[in-house]
C-alpha cells in the first residue's frame, strides 16, 4: 500500500441485500468501542500468525458488535443479516482493518545518540507527539491508523532534521570555520 492509499483510503464495497454498504478503515474515535467489542473474543485473534477463526467468532456475540462498529450501522441492522451476509460483512470489516486487528510487531527499540535504547511508544505517546506538532485532537479522532502512522513518521523526520540542524549550528559555533566547512562539504552539505 503506497502513501497515497494510506492517506486517502478507498472504502470497500459490500452488497447486503438491497443495501450497498461502504466499509472504511476505523477512525481513532472508533478504536475504544472496537477494542471493547473484541475483548470477549480476543483469544480468537492469533496475532503471531495473523489468523482468525471466523466461524468461531461468528458464534460469539462479539461478532455482531464488531460488524456493527465496522460498518457504522446499528445492532438492529446486523441482527437482520442472514448468516452468510454476517460472515461476508465480518470478513470485509476485518480485511479493511487488518492493521487494527493484527498489528505488526513493533520494530526493536531504536537506539539514541548515546547508544541507549529508546523507550517503547504506545498510541498515547503518538497522539501526544501529533498534538505537540500542531494536530488538533478533533482532527486526530478522524484519522485512520495508517494516517496516524504516516503523520507520526513525518513529525519524527522533521524533529530529526531540526535536531541535526541544531547540532550542526552548535558545532559550528565552537569550530574553526575552515575545518567546519570541510566537514560540512564531506557530508554533502
DSSP state, 115?
A: S
In a domain, 90, yes or no: yes
Q: Which grid coordinates are listed for 141? A: 479522532
Summarised one tens digit per residue, pLDDT across range 46-57 is 888 888 989 999
Same domain? 96 vs 132 = no
Residue predicted with more confidence, 158 or 138: 138
- Please check whether residues 181 and 130 belong to one and the same domain: yes
Domain membership of residue 106 (yes or no) is: no
Tens of pLDDT, residue by residue over 61-115, are: 899 999 999 999 999 999 999 999 999 999 999 999 998 998 875 554 566 556 6
Assess if residue 108 is contained within a domain: no
Residue after which a domain boundary falls, among 101, 133, 162? 101
In a domain, 115, yes or no: no
**Mean pLDDT calculated for residue range 39-48:** 88
Pairwise CA distance, residues 176 & 39, whole Å: 62
Question: What average pLDDT does the segment 21-39 reach?
Answer: 95
149-182 residue pLDDT tens: 888 888 877 776 666 666 666 666 666 567 667 7
In whole angstroms, give the CA distance from residue 14 to residue 72. Answer: 13
Residues 92 and 14 in one domain: yes
At 19 the pLDDT is 81
Whether residue 143 is found in the same domain as residue 79: no
Same domain? For 34 and 97 the reply is yes
Q: Where are the beta strands (DSSP E) in the chain?
A: 12-16, 19-23, 45-46, 51-52
Residues 85 and 163 in one domain: no
d(CA 46, CA 41): 11
User: Cβ(49)–Cβ(38) under 8 Å?
Assistant: no
Looking at per-residue pLDDT, the higher value among 108 and 134 belongs to: 134
Of all residues in the chain, the percent with pLDDT exceeding 70 is 78
Domain span at residue 176 reads 123-186
Same domain, 133 and 77: no
Does 14 share its domain with 73? yes
Structurally, how many domains does the chain consist of?
Answer: 2
Residues 74 and 134 in one domain: no
The answer as to whether 152 is a domain residue is yes
Asked whether residue 178 is domain-assigned, the answer is yes
Asked if residue 95 and residue 12 are part of one domain, the reply reads: yes
Q: Compute the distance between CA of residue 163 and CA of residue 169 in angstroms, rounded to an integer.
A: 10
Average pLDDT of 16-27?
A: 90
Predicted confidence at residue 137, as pLDDT, reads 95
In a domain, 114, yes or no: no
Q: Do 76 and 152 fall into the same domain?
A: no
The answer to whether residue 53 is domain-embedded is yes
Q: What are phi and psi of 41, to 5 degrees?
A: -115, 20
Predicted TM-score of the model (pTM): 0.74
Amino acid at each position: 500500500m503506497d502513501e497515497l492509499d494510506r492517506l486517502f483510503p478507498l472504502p470497500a464495497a459490500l452488497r447486503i441485500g438491497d443495501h450497498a454498504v461502504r466499509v472504511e478503515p476505523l477512525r481513532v474515535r472508533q478504536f475504544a468501542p472496537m477494542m471493547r467489542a473484541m475483548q470477549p473474543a480476543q483469544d480468537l485473534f492469533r496475532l503471531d500468525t495473523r489468523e482468525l477463526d471466523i466461524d468461531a467468532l461468528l458464534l460469539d456475540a462479539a461478532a455482531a458488535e464488531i460488524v456493527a462498529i465496522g460498518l457504522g450501522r446499528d445492532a438492529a441492522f446486523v441482527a437482520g443479516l442472514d448468516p452468510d451476509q454476517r460472515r461476508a460483512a465480518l470478513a470485509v470489516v476485518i480485511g479493511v482493518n487488518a492493521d487494527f486487528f493484527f498489528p505488526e510487531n513493533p520494530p526493536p527499540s531504536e537506539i539514541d545518540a548515546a547508544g541507549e535504547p529508546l523507550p517503547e511508544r504506545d498510541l498515547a505517546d503518538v497522539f501526544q507527539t501529533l498534538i505537540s506538532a500542531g494536530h488538533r485532537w478533533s482532527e486526530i479522532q478522524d484519522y485512520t491508523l495508517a494516517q496516524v502512522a504516516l503523520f507520526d513518521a513525518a513529525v519524527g523526520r522533521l524533529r530529526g532534521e531540526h535536531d541535526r540542524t541544531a547540532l550542526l549550528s552548535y558545532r559550528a559555533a565552537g569550530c574553526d570555520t575552515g575545518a567546519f566547512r570541510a566537514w560540512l562539504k564531506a557530508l554533502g552539505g
